[in-house]
Structure 1
Amino acid sequence: MKLNGILPTAEEKESSGGEGKIDVEHGCQGATMKDVSLALKPPMGWNSWNIFRCYQLTEEAVLGIADAMVESGMRDAGYEYLVVDDCWQAFARESSGKLRSHPARFPSGMEALGEQIHARGLKFGLYLSPGHKTCAMIYDRYPARDIGSFEHEQLDADTLAGWGVDYLKYDWCEAGRGGTGLTYPEAFSRMAEALARTGRPIVYSISEYGRTKPWEWAADYGHLWRTTPDIGASWRSVMKLVDRQHGLAEFAGPGGWNDPDMLEVGNVGINDVEARSHFMLWVMLAAPLMAGNDLRTMTAATRHTLTHPGLIALSQDSLGRQGSRVARQGKVELWRRELADGRVHGILNRGGRAVHLQSRDGGIVLDSGRRLVTDDGQLVCVWTGEPIDADGWSAALQPHEMILIRSDGRH
């Protein structure tokens, strides 16, 4: 499904009885209702996995992050979802089949946790998986049994809705094993239908790591879908994931977004320059911005990157068009993204040596004379907010550094 298949047509709106819902039948389990209005812009928030993983995930830690989201200015910058990933669950379901929180690490329960998150002006996200097991059971030896949602889809969706959950990350985790017989689209459509039946508006994040080209089918069900394997805290990992985004721009837009995974900004393994470039690339890709660092102890540089108003404005641009790499010159890449009121050019130095840029005749050229940007509009450096003179401006891009240059759109 391409961009024009994500937004509802007039006929779809009329048949669904609502402005933002799509009623889609693909022969899986009946009709799937998707409210595109829940994600007209790329979702922004924080996810627990990168920093807490499994056994360090606790109620106290989550509420500490919630407080940090408020105190650091992240909430006010647009980060609204606090998503508790795998390992929040007790090792077994209740006798009724209902999921429950881990009694030692989340003693107050998930409904109470959600209330605390909502009281801070944030929205509450949780994690489930469609098979018998979650990923932590497979890869982290989490000693649970049958806490996956297989044949519990409606019960689990109703449980989350009752707890006030606003966002669901649904993670494949080899759901086809153990005799389930699940296929990827079937597994994710089942939960989409269950969520729709709850009547609660819940953003639905589909995570199957790009294995089955979800950009071609997941927009029928989800608001965002993973296009890649898991990210790691290294420049190499960031570049590998970025390279997998080429050719996917046409499949994303208001209501449904390509998701190259969470951010590693602020985590050990990526320096401040690389972290800033990583963030800029996710902005150019119109990707969801889900922070994955410890907000309680982040540096001023990390906070500045994550809350930079110019970058956030680009991320949340109302046109919702994903940007792309459009040219290469050696280790230098040129990126471009169209905006509602102009465009933004990105120049990325992927190499190990500094490269020098200068303005000439209203454009940007390398020191070799190769022209990278030609734009007659007023150019502004997004990071500094300063205009770029038609002649006389210069800058040096350090290894792994990126610069974004916004134009007002005149030709």
Structure 2
Amino acid sequence: MTDLQYSGKPLIAPVPPMGWNSWNCFRCHDISEQKLIEVADALVASGMQAAGFDTFVIDDCWQAHTRGADGRLRSHPTRFPSGMAALGQELKARGFKFGLYASPGRKTCAMIYDRYPGRDLGSFNREELDAQTFAGWGVDFLKYDWCEADEDGTGLRYPDAFERMALALEGTGRKIIYSISEYGRTEPWTWAGDYGHMWRTTVDIERNWASIMSIADTQALITEFAGPHHWNDPDMLQAGNPGLNKVEEETHFALWCYLAAPLMAGHDPRTMSDGVRELLTNPHLLGIDQDPLGKAASRTQPVQDVDVWARPLSDGEAWLVVNKTENTIHLTHQDGELRLGQVTISPIAAGAQVLPLRSGSPAPLTEGTLWEIPPHGCLAVSHRD
């Protein structure tokens, strides 16, 4: 650990952060200043920014291949010719918070896995310099990604490496949301809340149903650790990218909302369908994710391959039933209970409403009503006092 005393992170994330991140869609070599400005404009035009996706995060590969003569990071001269400060100003002019990527070792993840030809782009032994650089550029959000930071003779260890940057950020005097990413290896939910506002809990999300369900299983064990200013992060959204069908996209997004997860979109909003836009801007699901009580849903499994997630809200309660089977299931509401055949799925009081998963209005959960959930689909219900 460093000898400096950390006085505590700024309390600037009372609800889960929302925004967009470049990685899932464009990965490394396909990002540029021009393309990202187009994405920002599309987020505004589509209504996503107004719906709350207001943090614009530029992931790995924004950097020049080497640091400057003064040791500072700088933007790639061809793909980001205006520089990161100017790009940040363009984003802020459109109403976004400015997010950026860095890593604690000598390398970034793209240098390891994407053959990005950089040198010493990690922040090892330059934490204060990099933090001051980011603050000077107006950065509001930092994703700090482990990327095997203990290699190359650094001697770094969890959680010390993340504390070093926390101290450096504190020293800038700028309030920056700090996103810790070490993939759940060291149970960060038990320690990362001392330093960061959110922490990755799993390996990277993939574009398939199995990945979504695997992450959900992990989250079910740690929901108690989520709350205002400290959030479990099950990774960025894949809705709008190839790999999930329409129903699976709905369940993926609804689950993240019920889990009180940070919502970082990862698709290309310039080409998204109306259906994806309606899903991601659904005010009913977003209202659950952003509920100020900040309690994540807990899971029960009353029937094999059927999960029920129940989340307390500041003014009521919400339930999400997930059908993990390959068959359609049918639920009824009888005598104050949601039932699958003769099995009680969950007690739900009269007056609850079934929420639309894309556009539309809530529908009453009336006595005897039959609700159909397709394979990999879900039923979202809430009751407001």
| TM superposition score normalised by structure 1 | 0.91
Shift of 1:36: 4.5
1:303 aligns with 2:277: yes
- Tell me which residue corresponds to 2:355: 382
CA shift, 1:34, in A, is 3.5
Deviation at 1:38, TM superposition (A): 1.1
2:123 aligned partner, one-letter code: S
The 1:381–1:29 alpha-carbon spacing in structure 2 relative to 1, beyond 3 Å, is farther
- SS of the counterpart of 1:247? coil
Shift of 1:389: 4.2
Distance 1:361 1:141 in 2: 60
Contact 2:42 2:270 in 1 (8 A): yes
Residues 25, 266 of structure 2: 8 Å contact kept: yes
CA distance in 1, matches of 2:117, 2:345: 54
Task: Give the number of aligned pairs.
Answer: 382
Say whether 1:193 aligns with 2:167.
Answer: yes
Measured at CA, do residues 381 and 348 of structure 1 come closer, stay the same or move farther in structure 2, by a change above 3 Å?
same
2:67 is paired with a residue whose SS is coil
Partner of 1:392: 368
Q: Does 1:184 align with 2:158?
A: yes
Gaps of 5+ in 2: none
Q: Give 1:67's aligned residue.
A: 41
- SS of the aligned residue for 2:57 comes to strand
Residue pair 2:9, 2:196 contacting (<8 A) in 1 also: no
Residue 172 of structure 1 is matched in structure 2 by 146
Q: How does 1:157-236 map to 2 (within 5 A)?
A: 157-236=131-210
SS, match of residue 136 in structure 1: helix
List 4+ stretches of structure 1 deviating above 4 A. Answer: none
The offset of 1:377, in angstroms, is 4.2
CA distance in 2, matches of 1:159, 1:28: 21
Aligned-residue offset at 1:215 = 0.4
Q: What secondary structure does 1:101 align onto?
A: coil
Per mean C-alpha deviation after superposition, the further-off stretch among 260-269 and 369-378 is 369-378
1:371 maps to 2:347: no
Distance 1:36 1:161, change over 3 A: closer
* Superposition deviation, residue 126 in structure 1: 0.3
Give the gaps of 5 or more residues in structure 1.
1-26
Amino acid of the structure 2 residue aligned with 1:372: I
1:319–1:64: structure 2 CA closer, same or farther, 3 Å change rule?
same
SS of the aligned residue for 1:170 comes to strand
Q: Please list the CA deviations of residues 316-371 of structure 1 after superposition, one character each: whole Å capped at 9, or x if unmatched.
A: 001000112122302211110111111101111001000011121232211x2211
Q: Distance in 2 between matches of 1:38 and 1:330?
A: 40
- 2:124: which partner in 1? 150
Distance 1:353 1:277 in 2: 15
Q: Note if contact 2:260-2:297 (Cα within 8 Å) is conserved in structure 1.
A: yes
d(CA) in 1 for partners of 2:35, 2:7: 34
2:29 corresponds to which of 33, 36, 55: 55
> Is 1:277 matched with 2:251?
yes
Question: More deviation in 309-318 or 247-256?
Answer: 247-256
Q: Distance in 2 between matches of 1:260 and 1:137?
A: 24
Q: Deviations over 1:14-69 (max 9, x none)?
A: xxxxxxxxxxxxx5442224445310000000000001101101101110111011
Query: 2:97 aligned to 98, 123, 129, which one?
Result: 123
